[in-house]
Amino acid sequence: MVLRKEGCVLVTGGVGFIGTHLCRALLAQGRRVIALDDMSAAQLPVSADLLDNPLFTLMEHDVIEPFSIAEPVAGIVHLAGQIGPNNPLEGLRASSIGTFNCLELALAHEARIVLASSGDIYGNATVHPQAEDYWGNVNPIGPRSAYEEARRFLEAATTAYRNVHGVNTGIVRPFNIYGPDVQTNRRAVPAFISKALAGEELTLHGGDQTRSLCFVTDFVEGVLLMLDSDDPGPVNLGSSEEISMRALAELVVSIAGSGTIKVVPAVAGDSAGRCPDITKAAEVLGWRPKTSVRAGITASIEAMRAMEVAVQ
């Protein structure tokens, strides 16, 4: 299936970090795009190239509140709620009420809807790497439970709407998406880069945990492919190139040319290792990430350095 041409694409969380990149990519395809965002995690100021595009509309609205779209909707990408474990109630609401709102809209417009879950759905995995048929190892009352269980609920609700109402749904599981990002307090990579560029201390919690990092443009390409398919998922979207958090911090300091590293105890409940099996993405979508960690970190540092110069 190819996403039908008539109708807009709605992106919830559309002016957040990932949403901004996704909206640009959709506009480059000539799509009409509506970005729904409550601005709590927006990339501010919103990029002029989006606001000045006649095919783009910013709808300032909280996804957990009822909403409707007057014009035909061909596709929906639900990103709102990818705000991590530090905002448990907001994440739970966005992944439950917000997800129901998006699924109801897809049902009303007969639209294809792709929902972003998370690689965190696997919890403190006992299987490595994690494939989509692994059910995970999640503590429902642990320190990360709200975030992990929110994503699990999102997937359950999506599956129910597909089975009960025949909604054309797709689930993707992003793994540690990164890139040039001004919201440095929300993600490890931009936080590391910001500290390094300032010549400050990078705080490393433990350091032996491993992660796979996926550059944002690679992830967006996978989402677009999923939007143009009929596959229900879930499909892992991430990199099989694994790196320890210690090695990541050292790489950032090396490329930035400044900064120091301080090691503190690991955060309770943090996963020891997270790395996706991306065989299904390759087979179903023909997708593989293209950007190495070194290339992605270098591009992110250069972009964030340019942002700082522009602000000065």
Q: Which residue numbers are catalytic?
A: 147
Pairing of strands 273-274, 177-178: unpaired
Residue 64 contacts residue 93 (beta carbons within 8 Å): yes
Burial status of residue 183 (CB atoms within 10 A of its CB: 0-12, 13-18, 19 or more): middle
Q: How far is CA 73 from CA 5, 6, 45, 105, 131, in A?
A: 10, 8, 27, 9, 32
Q: Which two tokens stand for residue 285?
A: 């979508």
Task: Dig out the tokens for 229 from the structure.
Answer: 């398919």
Question: Is residue 174 within 8 Å of residue 116, measured between CB atoms?
Answer: yes
Give the β-pairing of 56-60 and 33-37.
Answer: parallel
